[in-house]
Amino acid sequence: MSTSSDIMFHYEPLDPKADSLRVLTLLPRSKGSVACTLENRTFRSKPQFEALSYTWGTKPESTHITINGELFPVRENLYNALQSLQTGKPRALWVDAVCINQKDMAERNAQVSLMAFIYTRAQRVLAWLGPWAEKVQNDYFSDENWYVFSHNSYWRRLWIIQELVLAPEVRFYLGRYEFGWDMVTSTQNPEWRALEGRSEAIHRFREKRYTSAQRLENLIEVFRKAECTEKRDKIYGLLGMVLDGSDSAIKVDYGIGFAQLYAQVIAFHQTSDAPRDSPFPNDVDRAAKLIRFSQLLQNVFEGEVAKEVKSSLDVTWSGLFYTARAYIAGEILKIGPTPSEVASSIRADKSWRLSFSRVFKELDEQQKARSDYEAFSKKMLDWSESYLAGIKKLDSHSSYGFQFVDPGPSPFDEQENKEAEDKPAHSEARLVLGDGGIVGVVPGDAQEGDYICTFLGCNVAVVVRKLETAADRFLVLGLARIQQEQSEWQTEEDDDIEWQTEEDDDIETAIAYDMKGLKIKKGSSSPFLSDAGINLRLDLTSLQKLTSNS
């Protein structure tokens, strides 16, 4: 006996020479079955249809509908939605699981690229949230029904963001109940509070869908915790709302690796214009945000980029360079033991703590260092061996730092490069103390007199070394981990926030917050011209390593 997954449906190919789609016509109810027709249409023919927004669910196809007389396997949630939407007359719909041939990669790529246009052109979007609470189906305003509505897995899905933001009109369906946004936003039911933040985020972007708020960096930041099965959709599912770059800059392609997609998105970010209200030129604005954006991007890909880079799966990034703006946090004053040594030896730990009073002459610096070390040492206990292994020399001789004038190609001559390559690297990271009470861990190759640099709006730090042979030039040594103050934009509770809801919870605010306290160049009001500033010219491999969490 064949199962639903064994059923093979025959699709008529879409016209490759015209923007087109398939329209599913849901036929009137007939003896409890769900019957439809499927027709290819070009956008030129101005098809009239409603677009369905729903969750696919994790279970495989368990039932089927009939399309053009053929059986078509569907998942239970879609079957319930279609059955509920049936009326006494035909109803034209666009449903992604049906109208796109999911087994044809080329078609899938092309149709996903058109999804923003499809949802914009739909007469309305029908948001299906599943059946109502059966026991109270006659009491629409019951707490149980509001609970089903507000705690529905639908609201955690990434794709609904684009679908609801771009929709000309949205109608929600809970069982056979139908209602609009006004009913959702005006309710006083306490169960609504569980959903209020997500609704506000979507509503805010609906209001600003044609403004500079629709920047890719902001969209990724705000909706970074929305869920999707395919991790590439963390980008592809937001592209339809993006207004800060060329439509062709990022092509939807489910066949490429995460490393290649990462490179495409970084390139997009670095060629898009700064926000209109930014007081800084495009290149300065991009340099300030690069490290934070790269870190954010790797977080939403959940380590997939680092996995591909480590296994060398077709990663070709040669010739790709970007500039990041860093700020000197302090000079390294003392190199200490390894984290494993202080963790395993009471004597080593005590000796390291006693060194604080010898390194820091000011009492406030001593107190800060001791307080920070208490917090930092607790974090170190949770670090894995692979995490510690990431705190090492970059082994990149094409990345470099400069303060005022970009020297162009790497300022290191062939002899310096050869000496650097021949010099054995210390594999284990070591504890460090720095100016102003800095406490942290640096690559084993770091030396006293090197500098620790930080970046605006994120917790990444690097070690750089001023070159004696080249004035105003720095070697980018590697990643550092230092104890940093909790910023207003980054709290422990942030991990519990599914979507950011405040207008200023974005990269702009994180950057602005970290501008506080920077040493400003005399006669200038711009933190970007701080005396402590260094421009880091990074190859893409170095950028990825510095912002990877694995």
In whole angstroms, give the CA distance from residue 548 to residue 550: 6
In whole angstroms, give the CA distance from residue 486 to residue 372: 11
- What dihedral angle (degrees, nearest 10) is formed by the CA atoms of 71, 76, 77, 81? 50
In whole angstroms, give the CA distance from residue 124 to residue 118: 11
In whole angstroms, give the CA distance from residue 230 to residue 241: 19
- The H or E element spanning position 474 is strand 473-482
Using CA atoms, how far residue 362 sits from 328, 358, 359, 368, 435, in Å, is 20, 10, 9, 10, 11
For position 410, what pLDDT does the model report? 59
In whole angstroms, give the CA distance from residue 318 to residue 468: 28
Calculate Rg over the CA atoms of the chain.
28
- Determine what percent of the chain falls in helix, strand and coil, rounding each to the nearest 5: 40, 20, 40
**Cβ neighbours around 109 below 10 Å, total:** 17
CB 202 within 8 A of CB 164: yes
For position 286, what pLDDT does the model report? 84
- Strand-pair partners of 360: none
In whole angstroms, give the CA distance from residue 471 to residue 379: 38
The pTM of the full predicted model, rounded to 2 decimals, is 0.85
DSSP 208-238: TTTSTT--HHHHHHHTTT-B-SSTTHHHHTT
Q: Which two tokens stand for residue 320?
A: 């790709």
Q: Which residue has the tokens 């064949």?
A: 2
Pairing state of beta strands 321-335 and 400-402?
unpaired
How does 490-521 read in b/e, with b if 16+ C-beta sit within 10 Å?
A: eeeeeeeebbbbeeebbbbbbbebbbeebebe
Return per-residue pLDDT of the chain as tens, 550 residues.
345 556 789 999 999 899 999 999 999 988 778 999 999 999 999 999 999 999 998 788 889 999 999 999 999 999 999 999 999 999 999 999 999 999 999 999 999 999 999 999 999 999 998 886 554 455 556 677 777 777 888 999 999 999 999 999 999 998 878 888 877 777 666 666 667 677 778 878 887 776 655 789 889 998 999 999 999 999 999 999 988 766 567 999 999 999 999 999 999 998 887 676 666 677 778 888 899 999 999 999 999 999 998 886 556 676 788 999 999 999 999 999 999 999 899 999 999 999 999 999 899 999 999 999 999 999 988 888 878 888 888 877 678 898 766 666 655 555 455 444 455 555 689 999 999 899 999 999 999 999 999 998 888 999 999 988 776 789 999 999 999 865 433 433 343 335 554 444 455 555 444 444 444 333 334 444 455 789 999 999 899 999 987 6
In whole angstroms, give the CA distance from residue 536 to residue 323: 5
For position 138, what pLDDT does the model report? 55
The letter for the amino acid at 433 is L
In whole angstroms, give the CA distance from residue 74 to residue 49: 20
DSSP three-state, residue 484: coil
Pairing state of beta strands 63-67 and 35-42?
parallel
Q: Which residue has the tokens 């669910």?
A: 57
For position 440, what pLDDT does the model report? 96
- Write out 342-406 in H/E/C secondary structure: HHHCHHHHHHHHHHHHHHCCCHHHHHHHHHHHHHHHHHHHCCCHHHHHCCCECCCCCCEEECCCC
Q: Which residue has the tokens 């053929």?
A: 70
The residues, ordered by sequence, that sit 6+ positions from 141 with a Cβ below 8 Å of its Cβ are 189
In whole angstroms, give the CA distance from residue 71 to residue 59: 19
Pairing state of beta strands 473-482 and 438-442?
antiparallel
Using CA atoms, how far residue 379 sits from 388, 404, 483, in Å, is 12, 36, 9
- Write out 137-191 in H/E/C secondary structure: CCCCCCHHHHHHHHCCHHHHECHHHHHHHHCCCEEEEECCEEECHHHHHHCCCHH
In whole angstroms, give the CA distance from residue 528 to residue 515: 9
In whole angstroms, give the CA distance from residue 266 to residue 268: 5
Cα atoms in the Cβ-side hemisphere of radius 13 Å centred on 56: 16
Give residue 548's Cα distance to chain centre.
13
Name the residue ranges covered by the structural domains of the chain.
Answer: 4-207, 216-300, 321-546
Give one word for 481, left, alpha or beta, with left for phi > 0 and alpha for psi -120 to 50: beta
- The H or E element spanning position 267 is helix 258-271
The letter for the amino acid at 299 is N
